[in-house]
Amino acid sequence: MNGELCTIKGTRDGLVINIADVSQFSEVLSSLERQLLASQSFFRGSSAKVYLHKGVLTESYLDQIEELIADYGMRLNREPPQLSMTRPPVDPMEEETPEVVEDTTLLVRRTIRSGQRLHYDGNVVIMGDVNPGAEVVCTGDILVLGALRGVAHAGAEGKVDATVFAFRLEPTQLRIAHVISRAPDEKSPRPSGPEIARVVANSVQLSMYSH
């Protein structure tokens, strides 16, 4: 839970609000609001369910969570909260494959538009583009199944082995951990295929992606 009493995670089934200990409910709400603020309007229009690790979540608590996330344009799925789950259950067939999206990976099924900022504690997979003027910051890897033309910062808490992948890698700024890449030479021809960025010898190196 990375020290937070409450975290928002992306899964195959949608967004999940993980609560570590409901006995400190005021701190839980504060933690939840911090993450909603950090993500600006990114979660607007989404629904989320609750996973509870310790304690009993009363209807009154659910009402307060529902009211808070509604202020950010979200809906609460009021199914009975799951207890003691480290991650939401997945289909048994999916469990055997390495492509399962765990609760440390946020799956985004849309383009990140100019002015939007996405900050996430974990990996981020974007099924769309990251437009100029948009910003994606995360503590893990960034994978863009489209064009990355905004700001990208992977390994934000010092993970130097983090990577940034995109079908079209043309960021206005690219950073991995503390290492910032220089702006690409506009005169240089750009590869027509996917690229991956990683830190090599204390500098960000871009290369064509191959299996």
- Specify whether domain 105-208 bears CATH 2.160.20.70: yes
Query: What DSSP state is assigned to residue 35?
Result: H
Average pLDDT over residues 33-56: 77
Q: Are the beta carbons of 183 and 204 closer than 8 angstroms?
A: no
Strands 117-120 and 135-138: parallel
Residue at token pair 């009402």: 63
First to last CA, the chain: 32
Closest residue by Cα to residue 14 from 93, 79, 92: 79
Average pLDDT over residues 131-160: 93
- Segments of the chain assigned to CATH 3.30.750: 6-83
Q: What is the pLDDT of residue 98?
A: 33
User: What is the topology classification, in CATH, of domain 6-83?
Assistant: Transcription Regulator spoIIAA (3.30.750)
Residue 36 in this model has a pLDDT that exceeds 90: no
How far apart are alpha carbons 178 and 157 in whole angstroms?
A: 9
Closest residue by Cα to residue 165 from 188, 183, 148, 177: 148
Question: How is residue 145 written in tokens?
Answer: 């199944």
Q: What is the pLDDT of residue 72?
A: 82
Q: What is the pLDDT of residue 91?
A: 39
Residue at token pair 């911090």: 34
> Does residue 149 or residue 83 have the better pLDDT?
149
- Segments of the chain assigned to CATH 2.160.20.70: 105-208
Average pLDDT over residues 177-195: 71
